[in-house]
Amino acid sequence: MSYIYHGTSDLIALPGRTVQTYPSGLVRVERSFVCRKADVATYRDQIKAGDEMPLDDGAPAIDGLYIFPDPQEVSRPDGFAEFRVTAYGRSNTTGQRVRSFPKTSFFTFYANFNVPNPVYDPNDTSSPQTLLTPVRKDYYYDQFDANFRFCIPANERIPVPTDIREIGGAFVEGTDIDLFTQSFSAAEIFPNLNSAFVPSPAARRSARFTTPSYGSQRTNFGKFDEIFVSYSVRAADIDFGTFSNVGSAPAGNQIINSVRATPNGAVIELARAAFSTGITVEIGGETVSLAYGSRAVGGTFIVRFLGLGSLRKTNTILITGLDENTVYTAKIAAFNVNGSGGSASASFRTLIAGGDTGVSV
């Protein structure tokens, strides 16, 4: 069928332009164009996916409207061919930030502290020298999750929104204390962990977070990609570790296990007292101090360790330099950084060199 055309042979934009803007800033524009059927091939090559929308000012897009997908073609009964075109752009670069309603959750501070066992029996291998006490404290916080929708040029690397922490975060017990900026010491949380506990509870630990829900979805619309990012923080539990109470000095009755005399001294088996770092030995008014595993030389006698056992096993000291066949009393006390504890005494008579077995007293 032949047609008689009057007027231009150019592409003609039809009335009725439809604009839809999305929270991400994505802009979708739909409109139709017609041309003479004889010119379809010419305009088909000019109106294709990736090209800018023809005969359009691009509003409200800020950096162009680009056709996606390829236009639909409709052969009309009036002798014209119609191109139905959809194009996408973006109205801004910031998109939309959505902060969820707060959800109340909690995290926990943990610590363990050791104290000497007041009923420790050095002769009972099943008797522990120390008692471990676990402590915990729960803190409630308001948790805010965040969603981000924005548009970026296709195939561009997804940027991490710089305002994540301002929108999604966690705040202790409904206050404005942001855990991202906080650190805590064990003494602040557990007042019973005072300066007598080591290592120092003044050491601070920062609040930590896990991010079990940080993900993104990416959808392509030709020249632009629409990005959806979800971000959620979870406060992780904080474990301050184990503290040992060295505030109370070691008890004297934890020190001496057995005594065996020698010609110029004695062999004494010790049970290492809880939280002690060494011992003092006093004989005849003279006192020497030595750390476990070491030796000390006094003016009238020498003390050295013969072996270093674990906390529950005995340690053996050898005392030398004393006169033979003489009664001595050795007063022994364990010490730590806070001083010496109660002492225990061991009396013995040194042997006679050359055969006298001697008698310990």
In the predicted model, what is the mean pLDDT of residues 112-121?
A: 80
**96 CB burial (10 A radius; 0-12, 13-18, 19+):** middle
Range scoring the smallest mean pLDDT among 150-154, 198-202, 243-247:
198-202
pLDDT value at 214 more than 90: no
Mean pLDDT of the residues in the chain:
84
CA distances from 96 to 91, 150, 155, 285 (A): 12, 6, 20, 83
- Count of CB atoms within 10 A of residue 297's CB? 11
* Alpha-helical regions (H) of 2-106: 40-46
pLDDT value at 113 more than 50: yes
pLDDT of residue 326: 95
pLDDT of residue 208: 66
Identify the residue with better confidence: 193 or 310: 193
Range scoring the smallest mean pLDDT among 70-84, 129-143, 277-291, 325-339:
129-143
Query: What's the pLDDT tens digit per position in 49-78?
Result: 999 999 999 999 999 999 999 999 999 988
**Neighbouring-strand partners of residue 245:** 197
pLDDT of residue 21: 97
pLDDT value at 269 more than 80: yes
pLDDT value at 252 more than 70: no
> Tokens standing for 74?
């409709």
pLDDT of residue 272: 75
Identify the residue with better confidence: 40 or 186: 40
pLDDT of residue 359: 46
pLDDT value at 222 more than 60: yes
| CA-wise closest residue to 88 among 62, 106, 108 | 62
Query: What's the pLDDT tens digit per position in 286-308?
Result: 999 999 889 999 999 999 998 65
pLDDT of residue 312: 43
CA distances from 346 to 62, 186, 226, 257, 349 (A): 94, 41, 84, 10, 10
Q: CA–CA separation, 107 vs 173, rounded Å?
A: 11
pLDDT of residue 297: 95
Cβ contacts of 91 within 8 Å, gap of 6 or more: 21, 25, 26, 27, 60, 61, 62
Query: What's the pLDDT tens digit per position in 191-210?
Result: 877 667 776 666 777 766 66
Confidence tier at 122 by pLDDT (50, 70, 90)? low
Confidence tier at 95 by pLDDT (50, 70, 90)? very high
Q: CA–CA separation, 31 vs 85, rounded Å?
A: 6
Which pTM value belongs to this model?
0.57
pLDDT of residue 301: 96
pLDDT value at 184 more than 80: no
Q: Torsion angle of alpha carbons 52, 57, 59, 64, nearest 10°?
A: 30
pLDDT of residue 199: 66
pLDDT of residue 24: 96
pLDDT of residue 210: 61
Confidence tier at 180 by pLDDT (50, 70, 90)? low
**130 CB burial (10 A radius; 0-12, 13-18, 19+):** middle
Range scoring the smallest mean pLDDT among 64-68, 166-170, 219-223, 353-357:
353-357
Q: Torsion angle of alpha carbons 283, 285, 290, 295, nearest 10°?
A: -60
